[in-house]
Amino acid sequence: MAERGDLSVHDAPDWAVDRPATVLPGIVATRQAPHSLRPLIGFTRDDLLVLGGALLSSTCIGLLLFGRVTPLRGAVGFVIVTFVIFLGVYGLLVSVTERRPAVVNRLMSALMASAALIAGAALTSVILFTLWRGKEALVKTNFYVQDMSAAGPSDPLSSGGIGHAIVGTLIIISIALVLTVPLGIACAVFLNETRHPAARFVRTVVDAMTALPSILAGLFIFATWILILGFQRSALAASFAVSIMMLPITIRSADVVLRLVPGNLREAAAALGASQWRAVWYVVLPTARPGLATAVILGVARGIGETAPVLLTSGYTASLNLNPTKNPTVSLPLAAYEFVRSPQPTLIQRGFATAAVLMVLVLVLFIIARILGGRPAGTLTRRQARRTASRSAKDLARFEAHVAGVR
Amino acid sequence: MAAITTVHDPTGFEPETSRRDLSARRGRGDRIFYGGAFGAGIIVLSIMVAVGLFLSLEATEALRKTGISFLTTAEWQPDRGVFGIAAVLTGTVMIALVAVSVAMPISMGTALFITEVAPPALRSWLVSAVDLMAAVPSVVYGLWGLYFFQGQVIGVSRWISSWFGWIPIFAVSGADSNNPIADSTVFTASTFIAGLVVALMVMPIQCSIMREVFSQVPLGEREGAFALGATRWGMIRAVALPFGRGGIIGGTMLGLGRALGETIAVLLIISPRFDINFNILEAGSNSVSSLIALRYSESSGFGLSALMAAGLALFAMTLVVNFTASAFIARSRSGASSEA
């Protein structure tokens, strides 16, 4: 900065030599000490040491104080106390070498990181605790194949299982899929491709329906299908209710995916003479296929975990029921809910194991959705690329044969 | 389909004398396509409208009987004709407010951490983890909350009530701060614990919307702030937060909408009570959706109508919250879509 004051006529062009020189008012250098650039991003060794030291000392102080000075108890209490102390110590240590904005920056970064840490810890804790409490039932084969019709509430884990709930979930979700996938994707196509004046209104209503609490979807089917129309509580009724929950989610994510299909693909199809339905069927939908699959899977992941609608429309049963139109069929989340409502320890274990099975199912679906959705629209897998290339080669051969034939 | 594909012979060029008709005539295939797509749209629309209309129609019987006292009565005894949603609605709102006020800072911190702080390698993992949190079924959260988290939180509840018990909402009747071993049951099954568990469920929704918004902060403004000497937090405060304000508010409200409608986790944790209770640490609470789940089976026709009325009130509330949220998100400068 100090050099600025010395700026004078040294660099002036030749024609300016005779003129009176422009002299900038000199800037008086107030601070002589040259300061190095402040590192803005990344950790230096000092930073790591400060962080580590703060963590260590706050843990020690926390252990020392905890239960003596503070009346908090339990692990959560300890973490809170230690965290508050950590913030103080960390701020203090940073302020030894840094000035205020940098101290605030560090503290805020620590806060943001701990927010992410809380979220991660909660997720890990939920998953691990469920697996841990269900582990004894999870290792038994009969748990996956038998139903609860022969097993009493106090029977050991070696008899009875949730085979009926697994099958029930599959039945309910399959019917719901058959209902929602065509309807949902067709509706998304309607919203995006037809430019119909009603599309805006339909989109608003679908948006509104994502706000529908799941219990109300159940209550609606319970009141109409079961009470007014007089059908039995069944897997079919449950899948109607689940479909009402899945439809808005599927439509909205499919809508977004279709909107991301590049417009020039549609235009290219139209320019090649394709009618609109051909453009949609052969260009738009295949381009968006991975995204649509993700939309459907997200809908399934939501629908599979719904408890309340199934509780109202199908209800609990202890035995396997393969008929979707008659008698209650239990789903995994409902089975877990019913198990843990009993005071029997083995039933509670079964409940956790059921929840764990459900969670693993959702996890698998989720990973599939990630793998499919990770590719942007229009990106081909190696096999698809090969198939497309061979199809193009065949087309080329056909064209050439045609040209040769014309000649 | 083959409406305008008349191919002219390229050799015999003939100038068009009459004006060419530019309006496209739809072929049979396209007409079927339009019909099908329109049909799907109409079916979806009618399902959705049917749910809303049916709820309103069924609810009128109960609403006509009680009138305005439906909003002010705390009891729920439809067979005696004395029922109202004052208690359950208060409970629902209290649980949702606890959930949102806990979830909002965490989700905002996580969203900022993902977009601004975390190294890129960690970023995609964190995004997946948050999405996974959204996909975990609510009954799993409920089980975890009931059998694990509640035991951990009771100490915190007791601490808050003994130090801040003079603030009305933290007061707990029956708690004795001099005798901490007395009984922890006065702290179990409370609004606070249910709210904390619901917070975990709404956090991923809020987080994904905020993340979306923060990732759209213009690079130029970001770099401008750094060039002016801002620290990372300085940049976040001066650029990212003002830019993403709409998304933050909208995301928070979407989370609120979800928290209001949560059923099974709340049902597992709370013990139902039918009086207006503002003491969030005290045992017992209630919510509209758990009321419906508890009472639907034993209800007569009229009782069901009363439940429908309660459900309608809940739906109206979540609708208003969600639409306000979408409006905030759409009006904000970032205009990120409101994907839940």
Interface probe with B: pick from A123, A192, A216, most Cβ of B within 10 Å: A216
From B36, B110, B159, residue closest to A116, measured CB to CB: B110
CA distance A392 to chain B (A): 23
pLDDT digits (tens, 9 = 90+) for B35-57: 889 999 999 999 888 888 888 88
CA distance B222 to chain A (A): 13
Strands (DSSP E) found in B18-78: 76-77
pLDDT of residue A7: 43
Interface probe with A: pick from B8, B45, B131, most Cβ of A within 10 Å: B45
The angle at the Cα of B280, spanning B277 to B282, to the nearest 5 degrees, equals 80
pLDDT of residue B235: 93
From B140, B163, B315, residue closest to A126, measured CB to CB: B140
Q: What is the ipTM of this complex?
A: 0.83
Token pair, residue A192, equals: 């995006």
Q: Which residues of B touch A109 (CB under 8 A)?
A: 117, 232-233
Continuous segment of H or E residues that includes residue A56: helix A45-65
Region B178-201: mean pLDDT is: 80
Which residue from B24, B22, B20 is spatially nearest to B2, judged by alpha carbons?
B24
The angle at the Cα of A17, spanning A11 to A21, to the nearest 5 degrees, equals 75
Count CA atoms within 13 Å of residue A179 on its CB side.
25
- Between these two residues, B58 and B19, which has the higher pLDDT value? B58
pLDDT digits (tens, 9 = 90+) for B208-254: 889 888 888 888 999 999 999 888 899 999 999 988 888 898 889 88
d(CA A49, CA A93): 10
* pLDDT of B62 higher than 90: no
From B43, B155, B319, residue closest to A211, measured CB to CB: B319
Three-state SS at B82: strand
d(CA A50, CA A58): 12
Is B147's CB within 8 Å of A133's CB? yes
Are A77 and B156 in contact, with CB atoms under 8 Å apart?
A: yes
Region B126-139: mean pLDDT is: 88
pLDDT of residue A355: 93
Cα dihedral sign, A311-A317-A318-A323: negative
pLDDT of residue B8: 54
From B116, B140, B156, residue closest to A359, measured CB to CB: B140
Q: Where does the pLDDT of residue B337 fall: very low under 50, low under 70, confident under 90, or very high at 90 and above?
A: very low
Is A251's CB within 8 Å of B226's CB? no
Is A202 touching B (CB cutoff 8 A)? yes
DSSP B224-279: HHHHTT--HHHHIIIIIHHHTHHHHHHHHHHHHHHHHH--HHHHHH--B--S----
Is A307's CB within 8 Å of B264's CB? yes
Q: Which residues pair with B82 in a beta bridge?
A: B77
Work out the mean pLDDT of chain B and round it to a whole number: 83
In three state form, how does the secondary structure of B133-165 look? HHHCCHHHHHHHHHHHHHHHHHHHHHHHHHHHC
Is A119's CB within 8 Å of B292's CB? no
Tell me which residues of chain A have a pLDDT lower than 50: 1-9, 12, 16
pLDDT of residue A173: 92
d(CA A313, CA A299): 19
pLDDT of residue B225: 93
Over pLDDT 90: what percentage of chain B?
22
Is B110's CB within 8 Å of A119's CB? yes
Is A345 touching B (CB cutoff 8 A)? no
Q: Which residues pair with B285 in a beta bridge?
A: B272
Q: Which residues of A touch B139 (CB under 8 A)?
A: 305, 307, 333, 336-337, 355, 358
- Between these two residues, A161 and B100, which has the higher pLDDT value? B100
Is A129 touching B (CB cutoff 8 A)? yes
Is B29 touching A (CB cutoff 8 A)? yes
Is A43 touching B (CB cutoff 8 A)? no
Is B184 touching A (CB cutoff 8 A)? no
Is A70 touching B (CB cutoff 8 A)? yes
pLDDT digits (tens, 9 = 90+) for B257-270: 889 988 888 999 88
